[in-house]
Structure formats: structure tokens, C-alpha cells
Amino acid sequence: MQEAIPETISATERSLSERFTAVRNQTLRICDPLETEDYVIQSMEDVSPTKWHLAHTTWFFEVFVLAEYADGYTLMDERYPFLFNSYYIQAGDRWSRPHRGILSRPTVDDILAYRRHVDQAMGRFLEGDVPEAALPVIEIGLHHEQQHQELMVTDIKHVLSVNPLFPAYHSEGPPPSTPAPANEFERFDAGIVETGFKGDGFSYDNESPRHRQFVESFELASRPVTNGEFLAFVQDGGYDRSPLWLAQGWDLVQKDNWGRPLYWQRRDDGWHEFSLYGLRPLDEDAPLTHVSYFEADAFARWAGYRLPTEFEWEHAAGEAGMGGPFSDDMTLHPQWPDAAAGRLDTMFGGSWEWTSSHYSPYPGYLPVEGALGEYNGKFMANQFVLRGGSCATPSNHIRATYRNFFPSNARWQFAGIRLARTL
């Protein structure tokens, strides 16, 4: 650590203070349409109650920043780290994840008071001489909160979806999709490509080190699959044809009675889709979302294509515009961006895109020391990589090298399909 903090870091601190306030306010903005009762429900093990997200992101700053670097700071409540730690084993014991939804106390008001307490302490901390060692931790904390903003949106959607009244998070939905752009396949020649983060900005440790990969010649679809295209797979008996499915996926089709994407329903008047705007007729022109890796892989096989590798995806993304939509405008449902005209303009935003790549460390990867080293590395097993962000992702949080990851059966995230083929 440097003994004297240069003026350039003071400027960074002022910017960091503004960003801290903006990120924390955006989390509360996501909560604006909710009723108090909405904050407390855990509709399945993968979902966390909204009030837990509010508390956990606050706990992160309290434990990893204030308790570590702010002189004289004491925890607001010494019981909270046990309740609101997630998976950081080195940070202490934790309350059971599947049982977060049974805790009526602390109340929502208690959690909001906790949040205000830590925000005020962080405000005072950022106004002073922030130790240089604290800056990257605060940066991680901001991106960590943006990840939880996305999880809040997807978790709220699942909570509302299990209600037979199909309540809407927003009463007025986005307009129907414009016709999907033409699906053209873009060619990329074989060769050695560089993969991984490069630059001076923020990235997670799983995006490094930058390294070389060889890719064969391939083509990548200029846009993701639409609802209408996936509906053709459903109507062609795609969920009933075992040769299309990986063995574990077929087991889930049988065991859990999969026959459609997570939020689709077949009703007397046709197909519908539950969204954060309630239950609505299925928009066949809109981008597909909420499918698992198994469904994505089966559809690609049925269509005569395959899923791209993450290295192909990242290489192609160098020619792509940022597209959207992102969570900034609170649309919170995949739509075609206004500028979409083919040529990979839809690779970012809308829905995450499954790749065929297992979530594994890059050559030379080393996690950081301490509890924050548990952030990514320990999950590098039994997961697949997704790329590109979604309508629930903040636009300043995503980049071409960003590696999201979920188990192959995950369906509650905004995840879709982009087709590829080897030449």
C-alpha cells in the first residue's frame, strides 16, 4: 500500500462516491413497484427473497469495506452476518440458503434501516482518505450489487409467476415486438483468436488471463431464436423426441414434465407467456427467453445447428453493437433493439445466450486470496457459460469478455439461444 494517496485517486474516490449512490439507488428503484408482501417470498431454492438481496448487498459493503477499512466502525447488528452471508465460507457461518424465505424477522423496515445505516457510513467513508486497498473492494461491491439487481428481477418474476392470479410487476407492458430481423449467418474464418479481458477497466477474475484459442471456421446467427421459431420445435414434438436430448436433459423432461419454456402456458385461446407485465399472449416475433441449456441444445440439434462455444461468441462479439435492451430503461423483457438490422446487432442485452462451453478456468487462472477469492473460482464445475447480458442487466455492467454461468437445468434466468455451425 502506498503511504500517500495521489490526487488521481482522490478524483477516483469522488467518482466512486457518485457511482455508489447511483448503484444503490437503482436497487431501490427496482423495488418501487413491489408491495411489502412481495419482499419476503422464496418461491424455490434458487430464488432469494427481495429483502434478502437488499440485506446481502448491504452486508457486503459493511463486512468487506467498513469493518475492514473504516476506523472505529462497528457492525449495526452482530447477528446480521450470519443471516446475510451467502457462500463466503471464509467470512463465517451462514443461514441455510433454502430457508431464507421462512424468516419474517428482520422485517422489511428493519432491512431498509440497515441499508440506510450502511449507506450513511459508506458516504462518510468515501468523503475521507480512502485507503488504496479498499478501492478495488468497493469496485467489486458495486458490480456485485449490479449482479444482485439482475437476480432481484428474475427472482421477483418467479415469485409472481407462481401466484395463480398472475400479478403484474408493471401494469403497462412494452409494445408488441417489431418483426424479427432477418436471420443471416456471419462467417468467421479459422485461426487463433485472443480471449479474455484486456484493458484498464473493471473485470472479474474469471475473465483472465487473456490467452489464445484456436477456432475452426464457423458461422454464427445474426440474431437469437424467436418465440415463434421455438414454438415450431414444441409443435413438432421436440419435447417428446429423446434423440434430440442429452441424457440428463431427457431425464428432466420426463421427471418434471417439461413441454415448453418455463413461463409459457397453453390456454383455450392459444399460447401465453408470463412476464413482469402479467400473463400475455405469446409474441411470436419476440426473442425467446427462459430456456435451460438442455432445451437450447435440443433445439439447436432439431434445427440442424449447434450452440457456439464461448470463444466463438466472444470473437464474433468484437463486431457487434451493444444493442439492448438493458435494465437501465426498466423494460425488463426481451425486445429487438431499435437499431437491430442483422449483422450481430443483438448480441448484448435481451437475453443471455447459452454457449456449449463448460465453465472452467482459463490457463493460468488464480483466484484472489481471502474470502473474495470464493466469488467465482469455486463454482468452476457442472456449469455452462452464458454471454451477452439480458434485459435485466445494467448496460455499464456487461462487456464482451463477461462470463456468466449457470447449471444446465436453470430456466428462471433470462436465457436464450443463438445458433452456430461449423464450416
Provide DSSP, 70-100: STT---S-TTHHHHH--S-GGG-----GGGG
Which residues are 273's β-sheet partners?
264, 280
Q: Are 233 and 302 in contact (CB under 8 A)?
A: yes
Three-state DSSP class for residue 357: strand
415: exposed, middle or buried (Cβ count in 10 Å: 0-12, 13-18, 19+): buried
Q: Which residues contact 131 (CB under 8 A, 6 or more apart)?
A: 1, 5, 69
Rounded CA gap, 202 and 150, in Å?
A: 18
Per-residue pLDDT of 49-99, as tens digits, reads 999 999 999 999 999 999 999 999 999 999 999 999 998 888 889 999 999
pLDDT number for residue 147: 97
Predicted pLDDT at 250: 98
Q: Is the peptide bond before 106 cis (omega within 30 degrees of 0)?
A: yes
Q: For the segment 348-360, what is each residue's pLDDT rounded down to a tens digit? A: 999 999 999 999 9
DSSP-derived secondary structure for 162-186: TSTT---SSSSPPPPPPPPPP--EE
Q: What is the pTM of this model?
A: 0.94
Provide CATH code, domain 185-422.
Answer: 3.90.1580.10
**pLDDT at residue 11, as a whole number:** 42
Low-confidence ranges of the chain (pLDDT < 70): 1-14, 339-342
Q: Which residues contact 416 (CB under 8 A, 6 or more apart)?
A: 224, 225, 287, 288, 289, 291, 296, 334, 350, 351, 352, 353, 354
Domain ranges of the chain: 7-161, 185-422
3-state secondary structure of 346: coil
Return the C-alpha cell found at 389: 447480458
pLDDT of residue 272: 97
